[in-house]
Chain A
Amino acid sequence: MKFMKQQKKFESREQQQVSETSSQQKTSSREFASVEELLRYDAKQTTVPPGIAQRLGQSLQKEPRPARSWWRRWFR
């Protein structure tokens, strides 16, 4: 009886491991319907490095002030 319980426990643990493995495989594989879908996914996964904004901020501070403000374009 004790042996059967242990065996069941072992079998369920084994089944759990199999299902974990297959779910890991599922998460690492994927099918894309088109090239566009693949590239859109890739773009969404890509993060913009925060250093760019910092550098840009520093560069803009060194820029001379504009001769004419952007909003004046609306009153020409």
Chain B
Amino acid sequence: MDSSLTERPSLDQPRSDLVSEEFADLYQNHSREIYYLTLRLLGDVHKAEDATHDVFLKACRKWDTFRGESSYRTWLYRIAINHCSNLRQSWSNRHLVTNVDEAVWEGATASGDSPLRVLEMKELGDRIQKTLDELSEEYRLLLLLIADEELSYEEIGTLTEQSPDAVRGKLHRARKMFAAMFEQHQ
């Protein structure tokens, strides 16, 4: 990591260094989940690197506006979700993006609660990405957020602007669709 993000200056140092100290902690504690979210939302390593960089840069610029009404984690997720959504919106204006019709999967036999068998671990990441890409943007986001054990249904509801009950209902369908599509990529 760059030294400007890891230094631990004393309180006598200039205030920009104090920001650096606090910000370094923020990056160290949350870069993994933000990178993973952007990677799986955007489906590309280089785009995820750019997005993660931009999310933390925006966080630094908005540092003074953070009021502590949510955790840093959900605050960063909010910035990341908006950033990825804007990126995907600008791409979809240029390239028509289609997701698989949900109705096709309504009668899927695989259950979201049944075990997922993986025979070849090497290609697991590609298989997960292919499956996520076939889901709607909303389902993809909900699954990625619920995979973070530190986020509650309430927080996911706040992040996706819906009630916790709506989150639960949609996640049930999202799990089912994911499991059915994942089986097909075996």
| CB-contacts of A9-65 with B (<8 A) | 27-36, 38-43, 45-46, 48-61, 63, 65
Supposing A31-B115, A32-B116, A63-B60 touch, asked if A52 and B31 sit within 8 A by C-beta, the answer is yes
Q: Is B8 an interface residue (CB 8 A)?
A: no
Verify A31–B117 contact, CB threshold 8 A.
Answer: yes
Supposing A50-B1, A56-B2 touch, asked if A65 and B16 sit within 8 A by C-beta, the answer is yes
Please pick, from B19, B61, B117, B143, the residue contacting A29 in the complex, using a CB distance under 8 A: B117
CB proximity of A31 to chain B, nearest CB, Å: 5
Please pick, from B53, B56, B64, B146, the residue contacting A66 in the complex, using a CB distance under 8 A: B64
SS of B interface (majority): helix
Verify B120–A70 contact, CB threshold 8 A.
Answer: no
Please pick, from B3, B63, B119, the residue contacting A57 in the complex, using a CB distance under 8 A: B3
CA of A38 to CA of B125, assembled, Å: 10
CB proximity of A52 to chain B, nearest CB, Å: 5
CB proximity of A75 to chain B, nearest CB, Å: 13
Residues of B within 8 A of A43 (CB): 32-33, 36, 147-148
Q: Is A68 an interface residue (CB 8 A)?
A: yes
The residue on A at minimum CB distance from B57 is A59
**Chain B, 113-125, contact with A by CB distance < 8 Å: what is the 0/1 string?**
1011111111011
Question: Which of B27, B113, B147: most chain A CB closer than 10 A?
Answer: B147
**Number of residues from A at the complex interface, CB < 8 A:** 41
Supposing A28-B119, A36-B147, A53-B1 touch, asked if A63 and B35 sit within 8 A by C-beta, the answer is no
Identify the B interface with A (CB < 8 A): 1-5, 15-16, 18-20, 22-23, 27, 31-33, 35-36, 39-40, 45, 49, 52-53, 56-57, 60-61, 63-64, 112-113, 115-122, 124-125, 128, 143-144, 146-149, 174-175, 178-179, 182
Extra A-B contacts (12), CB below 8 Å, given A28-B119, A35-B147, A66-B64: A31-B117, A32-B118, A33-B115, A35-B112, A35-B174, A39-B143, A40-B147, A43-B32, A43-B33, A51-B49, A59-B53, A60-B23
